[in-house]
Structure 1
Amino acid sequence: MTTIHLPSADGTWRERTLAEPRAWAQHPEPFASRVAFAAAHVVADPLGENVPGSAAAIDWDSTLAFRRHLFRHGMGVAEAMDTAQRNMGLDWPAVQELIRRSAEQARDAGARIASGAGTDHHDELHDVAAVTAAYEEQVGFVESTGSQVIVMASRHLAAVARDADDYRTVYDAVLRQVREPVVLHWLGEAFDPHLRGYWGSNDVAKATATFLELVRDHADRIDGVKVSLLSAEHETQLRAVLPEGVRLYTGDDFHYPDLIRGDGRHHSDALLGAFAAIAPAAAAALAALDAGDTETYDAEMAPTLALSRHVFETPTWFYKTGISFLSWLSGYQPGFTMVGGLQSGRSVVHLARVLELADDAQLLPDPALAAHRMRLWLESAGLRR
């Protein structure tokens, strides 16, 4: 048995005996009853200048190996999304290389990949015509790699749009030109405060009406929508009125077990950053759902939810730090340096709790390694019991 002492915010320590590792079954085939994408993070090169404001230096071997880990558990990869630090250190040259390399791997593995197209290759854009052109450039690049397109929310559009009509002008133009059905991504301000008022209103009901009108007008060009507002009520209402054939990919890292299981009439598919952290357990749950075994589905998902809610707690946009830290504890990457220095985004106490909750879900493949790395991390922070 492996035992470790972990610090609390009040200065006390608690002893933790880690569970024996679980031999999770691999599931390299896609799931029959749900589509599942894991939004994957990137691993930083520890020798690179991964400091705030610098170009991203990526450990490509570890980054791509992590995607193969996701493929082995039946996950498609949602690439170059906010989980990969898009708009938080991952610059456009790194995005292009990441999408190219990941698309090649997905093709070799027979796995799904969908990649983000936005406008972030420009520092400033001053009108909707410029935003449209920027979107079209990135959409064209993603399509050239063979990846499905995810049309990401644009900070530039949020800044220049005067009303809902400006959003429609941009998205209408982009959707008329896509080669294959895309995923539309509505990322809420909890994940990115720059996106407040997206779709032309701070009133969620009004914004939803604009969004839904867009989807209905272009339903043949939309595979699905990913909504990341962290509101299960909003999601269940929206998915019930989507056009037939348009999926709702949940981005709700607080309520995903119930949303994916569904209410008997409608269900959500998955495009989740949380799935990068819990892929083996999510695969076991989805395999049970394929077999019609909702009891096992619930049992497999239940222990993961506390971990996800902790990783995504406010300020939510720093959730990437917890996902990268857990990847390091689990042995999926050699170090815990992050692009843009984002490893400083969570406290030592927060990350210690990540280890405990991952252990509760039996998601530590090598408890001794996790404990060793946790001790190193604590000592580097000046903490020793």
Structure 2
Amino acid sequence: MTLSLRLPGPDGLEDYRLAGEPVAQGTYEPARSRLAFAAAHVVADPLGDNSPGQPAVVDWEHTLEFRRHLWSLGLSVAEAMDTAQRGMGLDWAATQELIRRSAAEAPDGRIAVGVGTDQLAAGNHSLETVIGAYEEQLAVAEDVGAQPILMASRALCAAAGSPDDYRKVYDRLLNQSSRPVILHWLGSMFDPALAGYWGSDSLDTAADVVVELIGDNVSKVDGIKVSLLEASREVALRNRLTEGVRLYTGDDFDYPSLIKGADDAYSDALLGIFAAIAPAAAAALKALDDGDLQRYDEVFAPTVPLSRQIFSAPTYYYKTGIAFLAWLNGHQPGFSMVGGLQTGRSLPHLADTFRLADQAGVLTNPELAVSRFKRLLLVGGVEA
């Protein structure tokens, strides 16, 4: 049966016939050739007051079921990251509960958790206060036995006056961690409050700071996640890292080529888009393990236009697209988000996301997806 619906287009509503072939469902073992983390979102409780500025009310059943879905596909979970709306709706109390609940269910070694400073109120703080906030969150990660991801901090960015201030903070934290951590470099397109991170507006200078910091703490650094959306810059940094330190790509524009790599130089993955395209990511990584690069390219290639759509400017609203696809695919009962962030993208934007998701084969239940999007159009005032 051919499925179709009327979608918003440049000239108003237009007929669209679904043409994609959903990526085959199944279970997978973790990839052998790459480490792959999907940064997972949270599902809002539709009966909770998740309006902007209110404490998050999470639908724990569907939030955890989504993580089980990712684990069944062989992916690891990067928990409580920016994809989970850290700093954009998910407060520290809900974050702690999320970390504890998720870590309690995670298969061994298949979870890493975000450690930040977002329990601090907006405003200026001393470096010691920033360190104390990081230490509080690091203690939670240590308590649940999860690998820490030292997230880029708005508070640190505001407090630091030089690269030396970053060194002071990170040296203290790395010395305290009982296991190697993943560092986190998030570009200002993901969070404008992080502009000038590592103490310089020059990305070249910032890279020098990162390389020196890692080199001086190599036994405490597993790797660094880089989300700058510049593949050439990521490759250049990767080539400078001390042997054994991983580069986890956070480049949601060029992840297929960065993960595939060349001449044994490649990036591992820690990506928000993997939550949205999880079956395709699992199938592509399996093909990479099998040495089937043609299949790898075939599976991943059509997901790139979708990812570029979801992460288009303003990039920090990409979380809306992640939750939208989870709803279309039946992983949550409603298209609602903590902080009311479901309003972060327009109907035309979501219509384009729908088209591209179909073409990428990641609408796993096309009938359900069509039914749900028709309802969304109706709620938005569109008779389709």
TM-score using structure 2 length: 0.97
Residue identity over aligned pairs, in percent, reads 57
Give how far 1:9 is off: 3.8
Cα separation, 2, equivalents of 1:87 and 1:256? 25
Alignment of 1:314-333 (within 5 A): 314-333=313-332
Match of 2:278 in 1: 279
Give how far 1:22 is off: 4.1
Counterpart secondary structure, 1:226 = strand
Counterpart secondary structure, 1:350 = helix
Match of 1:138 in 2: 137
Alignment of 1:303-382 (within 5 A): 303-382=302-381
1:238 is the counterpart of 2:237: yes
Deviations 1:247-271 (A, max 9, x none): 0000000000000000214100000
Match of 2:74 in 1: 74
Kindly indicate whether the alpha-carbon contact (under 8 Å) linking 1:8 and 1:14 is maintained by their aligned counterparts in 2.
no
Give how far 1:23 is off: 2.7
Size of the aligned set, in residue pairs, is 382
Kindly indicate whether the alpha-carbon contact (under 8 Å) linking 2:77 and 2:110 is maintained by their aligned counterparts in 1.
yes
CA RMSD for the aligned pairs? 1.1
Cα separation, 1, equivalents of 2:224 and 2:23? 34
Match of 1:14 in 2: 15
1:175 is the counterpart of 2:174: yes
Match of 2:259 in 1: 260
Alignment of 1:144-223 (within 5 A): 144-223=143-222
AA aligned to 1:112 is: R
Match of 1:102 in 2: 102
Deviations 1:290-324 (A, max 9, x none): 11111111111111111101000000000000010
Kindly indicate whether the alpha-carbon contact (under 8 Å) linking 1:43 and 1:63 is maintained by their aligned counterparts in 2.
yes
Kindly indicate whether the alpha-carbon contact (under 8 Å) linking 1:26 and 1:280 is maintained by their aligned counterparts in 2.
no
Cα separation, 1, equivalents of 2:65 and 2:250? 24
Cα separation, 2, equivalents of 1:288 and 1:77? 21
Match of 1:293 in 2: 292
Counterpart secondary structure, 2:149 = strand
Kindly indicate whether the alpha-carbon contact (under 8 Å) linking 1:150 and 1:185 is maintained by their aligned counterparts in 2.
yes
Kindly indicate whether the alpha-carbon contact (under 8 Å) linking 2:52 and 2:339 is maintained by their aligned counterparts in 1.
yes
Give how far 1:65 is off: 0.4
AA aligned to 1:4 is: L
Kindly indicate whether the alpha-carbon contact (under 8 Å) linking 2:24 and 2:279 is maintained by their aligned counterparts in 1.
no
AA aligned to 1:120 is: D
Kindly indicate whether the alpha-carbon contact (under 8 Å) linking 2:223 and 2:247 is maintained by their aligned counterparts in 1.
yes
Give how far 1:284 is off: 0.7
Match of 1:87 in 2: 87
Distance 1:320 1:160, change over 3 A: same
Q: Which runs of 5+ in 2 are unaligned?
A: none
Kindly indicate whether the alpha-carbon contact (under 8 Å) linking 1:25 and 1:284 is maintained by their aligned counterparts in 2.
no
Write out the 4+ residue segments of structure 1 that deviate beyond 6 Å after TM superposition. none
Q: Which runs of 5+ in 1 are unaligned?
A: none
Distance 1:312 1:265, change over 3 A: same
Give how far 1:244 is off: 1.0
Kindly indicate whether the alpha-carbon contact (under 8 Å) linking 2:23 and 2:279 is maintained by their aligned counterparts in 1.
no
1:34 is the counterpart of 2:51: no
Cα separation, 2, equivalents of 1:165 and 1:53? 34
Counterpart secondary structure, 1:167 = helix
